[in-house]
Structure 1
Amino acid sequence: MRLSSLAAWFLAAFTLSSAHAQEAVGGNAAGPGTSVLTVRGAGSFEQPPDYGRFEVNVVTREKTLEAAVAAHEKRASAAITALRSFEPAGVGIEKSRFRLDEERPVAYPSSYYPGHQPPPKLSATPFTATTTFTLKVTSIADLNKTMSRIAETGLFQIQSVTFKVENERAALLEARRAAMTDARQQARVYTEAADLTLLEITTITDGEASPSEVGQADMPRSARFIQLVPPAKVSFGASVRVTWRIAPR
């Protein structure tokens, strides 16, 4: 009786070990023992930019917090009026944000060793109020002229520009379509070279999809004349991971 129980135990242990071994060798999304091929496809799509997006700052510096806020209110109001005057040229205010900063003295020891630099003096206007406007300029052809006219008002510090398309989602979908086409082409090359056949897709995993930053530029704060060359195309990239079940021909 004890021998029979022991033999049954060994048989069960062997069967369980064999099942685990098969699962470890062939385990995947298509099921145990199935041969699969996994490929990562990459694709891109390009189209001309529809508009430029600029960030500009209006900055006011004063001796006190109250003076900075009061002066900046007038300066920001004048900036809004100026920007709205450019609406016929295709300039729109997308959003704005406001912040207050204070320059504080740095603590230094009371005495200095010979050759050490003295501590920097505190600015006479330690309080800074800043309003940042995000502008959308729809006329690409007149972009340089329009932004130069905005800079000439003397109210703005032009920070950066990027070039965009209106329907980014549609462009990203085209990039994803190209990525899937690339994955199929790669899979066909592998299976033809190995004399195999693609059966059906078992998994599709979406990868990254995003626009490039082509055309982005940082502008000097003192710029009064803008001369940018908009990119001919804005590119979008995407990737996808695809798994096929495969079999011999």
Structure 2
Amino acid sequence: MRSFLPAAALLMLIPAGAQAQSVATAPIAGTRLEISARGEVKRVPDIATISAGVVTQAVDARTALSDNSARMTRVVAALRKAGVAERDLSTAQISLSPQYRYADNQPPVITGYQASNSVSVRFRDISASGAILDALVAQGANQINGPALSIDKPEAALDEARLSAMAAARSRAALYARAAGLTVRRIVAISESADEQSRPYPVMMRAMSADAAAKTEVLPGEQSVGVTVAVTFELG
């Protein structure tokens, strides 16, 4: 005697993975159109990240490292005094390496040692970063790299760029459809890729007055926040 199970009961007996695999995207009945469109907005960066450090040299390794540590302590103290938060300070690199003298047909001879120590500093007030860098140099910093300018919270700008990209994709799809004597039926798939958020800018210098020393100024300018979307449409 045969026994029959309802279709719903049979579906329950199928492993979950098999159920997922059996669900397929509805095929495109009309014409397939793939559009790539970019949306972009401009924002003024509000974060500057700079590497500041001290390089020292001495005849022996211990003196080179000791002198370096003393000067770096003053540099970090100046950063804290300027109001840079602990969360915005991190050690970037510490190194100690021998210095050599080379001569023809002779093995290299160690003539001294070079110590290097640098910290990564994040400035949340870009307008004040130049003055702080000048203060660091006064305290012994002799190696500065950066800044890398970025936007602290880019989510709202990215959403605006997404809307712009989708609007461009839809407009372009409608244009192609009209040119082909078709209409846009539906969107089949959407994917996106966002731009890299920050890029380095050089530290700018300007003379404040003829009788004053030149002071460092960081110019934020504007940055592009962009998103590229790939959209697949069905035309009919």
Q: Mark yes or no: TM-score above 0.5.
A: yes
Report the AA paired with residue 217 of structure 1: P
Task: Confirm or deny that 1:43 pairs with 2:42.
Answer: no
Task: Confirm or deny that 1:175 pairs with 2:167.
Answer: no
Contact 1:188 1:198 in 2 (8 A): yes
Counterpart residue number, 1:79: 75
* Partner Cα distance (2:214, 2:114) in 1: 22
Counterpart residue number, 1:8: none
Identity of aligned residues (%): 22
1:51-200 correspondence runs (5 A): 51-87=47-83, 93-103=88-98, 105=100, 110=105, 124-125=111-112, 127-200=113-186
Residue-by-residue CA offset, 1:134-162 (whole Å, 9 max, x unaligned) = 11222233333333233333334221112
Secondary structure of 1:188's partner? helix
Contact 1:172 1:209 in 2 (8 A): no
Residues 170 and 62 of structure 1, relative CA distance in 2, 3 Å threshold: farther
* Partner Cα distance (1:198, 1:179) in 2: 17
Number of residue equivalences = 205
Q: TM-score, normalised by structure 2?
A: 0.72
Residue 239 of structure 1: how far off its partner (Å): 0.6
* Partner Cα distance (2:159, 2:109) in 1: 54
Residues 32 and 143 of structure 1, relative CA distance in 2, 3 Å threshold: closer
Contact 2:75 2:136 in 1 (8 A): no
Report the AA paired with residue 110 of structure 1: N
Residue 122 of structure 1: how far off its partner (Å): 6.3
Counterpart residue number, 1:245: 234
Q: Which has the larger radius of gyration?
A: 1
Residues 138 and 217 of structure 1, relative CA distance in 2, 3 Å threshold: same
Contact 1:92 1:137 in 2 (8 A): no
Query: Which of residues 195, 202, 224 is equivalent to 1:217?
Result: 202
Contact 2:56 2:115 in 1 (8 A): yes
Secondary structure of 2:195's partner? strand
Q: TM-score, normalised by structure 1?
A: 0.69
Residues 219 and 69 of structure 1, relative CA distance in 2, 3 Å threshold: farther
Contact 1:212 1:236 in 2 (8 A): no
Contact 2:151 2:198 in 1 (8 A): no
Residue-by-residue CA offset, 1:192-246 (whole Å, 9 max, x unaligned) = 2222111111111222433252x611689xx973133320x22112111100111
> If each structure's strand is expressed as a fraction of its own residues, which one has the higher value?
2
* Partner Cα distance (1:219, 1:70) in 2: 32
Contact 2:88 2:122 in 1 (8 A): yes
Residue 107 of structure 1: how far off its partner (Å): 6.9
Contact 2:61 2:96 in 1 (8 A): no
* Partner Cα distance (1:58, 1:246) in 2: 63
Residue 43 of structure 1: how far off its partner (Å): 1.1
Contact 1:148 1:224 in 2 (8 A): no
